[in-house]
Amino acid sequence: MSANETNDASAEHNRRDFLYIATGMAGVVGVAGAVWPFIDQLRPDASTLAVAQIDVDLTEVQAGQSITAMWRGKPVFIRNRTEAEIEAARETPLADLPDQLARNENLPADASADDVSRSAGEGRENWLVMVGVCTHLGCVPLSQQGDFGAWFCPCHGSHYDTAGRIRRGPAPENLHIPAYEFISDTVIRIG
């Protein structure tokens, strides 16, 4: 083989490699262009994103009253507890609780279920914000009922205390507390 034939073979080999790579890249771009509409439709729409966070005005909620807000399709119980309700929750020994974890998304996962960890925190112990879904089978507990005068799920008999902690019945966990923050003295943002 002469030097010219070797150079021609090498040039042909390089052209062939380039064509393979270019064809492969064109195929990848074509497939991506065809698949993108299907991937794009999986993103949440504007109405879903709009309820990712809600602001709740608490100015009208007096001590001893509860309101229910809807967040992500679930009820959220917001209660302005009385001093007696706070005291009852504080007096409950943690050893008496079936679930001793706070279940509060605003705190570390291993935070204990003491009253302050279940409430809005120091200085705001009167506020209790919880997802209003029974942790047994997903029913919605009734407010200001049950053996502890707080929440009662009549479906299977779960009783929660004034801090939303399971005290009696089949529910395995305390009512969950969503991520929230006070954005003013009277408005909370959930989510």
Residue-wise pLDDT for 60-99, tens only, equals: 999 999 999 999 889 999 999 999 999 999 999 999 999 9
Question: Binning pLDDT at 50, 70 and 90, where does residue 138 land?
Answer: confident
User: At which residue do the structure tokens 């034939």 appear?
Assistant: 5
Count of Cβ atoms closer than 10 Å to residue 141 Cβ: 26
User: At a CB cut-off of 8 Å and minimum separation 6, what does 81 contact?
Assistant: 63, 64, 89, 119, 125, 126, 127, 128, 162
- Given this model, what pLDDT does residue 175 score? 94
- The pLDDT tens digits for 31-51 are 888 888 878 787 777 666 666
**159 tagged catalytic:** no
pLDDT band at 15 (very low <50, low <70, confident <90, very high): confident
pLDDT at 169: 92
Tell me phi and psi for residue 91, to 5 degrees.
Answer: -75, -15
Question: How do residues 92-125 score in pLDDT, each as one tens digit?
Answer: 999 999 999 999 999 999 999 999 999 988 889 9
Q: Find out whether 181 and 188 touch, Cβ atoms under 8 Å.
A: yes
Tell me the residue type at 46.
A
Active-site residue (options: 13, 136, 156, 176): 156
CA terminus-to-terminus distance, the chain:
75
Cβ atoms within 10 Å, residue 112: 13
Residue 53 phi/psi, 5-degree rounding, is: -135, 140
6: pLDDT strictly greater than 60: no
Give the distance from CA 191 to its chain's centroid: 7
Residue 149 sits at the vertex; the CA angle it makes with 144 and 150, to the nearest 5 degrees, is 55
Right CATH for 49-190 from 2.60.40.420, 2.40.128.120, 2.60.120.260, 2.102.10.10: 2.102.10.10
User: Contact 46/52 with Cβ under 8 angstroms?
Assistant: no
| pTM recorded for the entire structure | 0.71
Q: How far apart are CA 9 and CA 72, in angstroms?
A: 66
Look at residue 4 and tell me whether its pLDDT is greater than 80: no
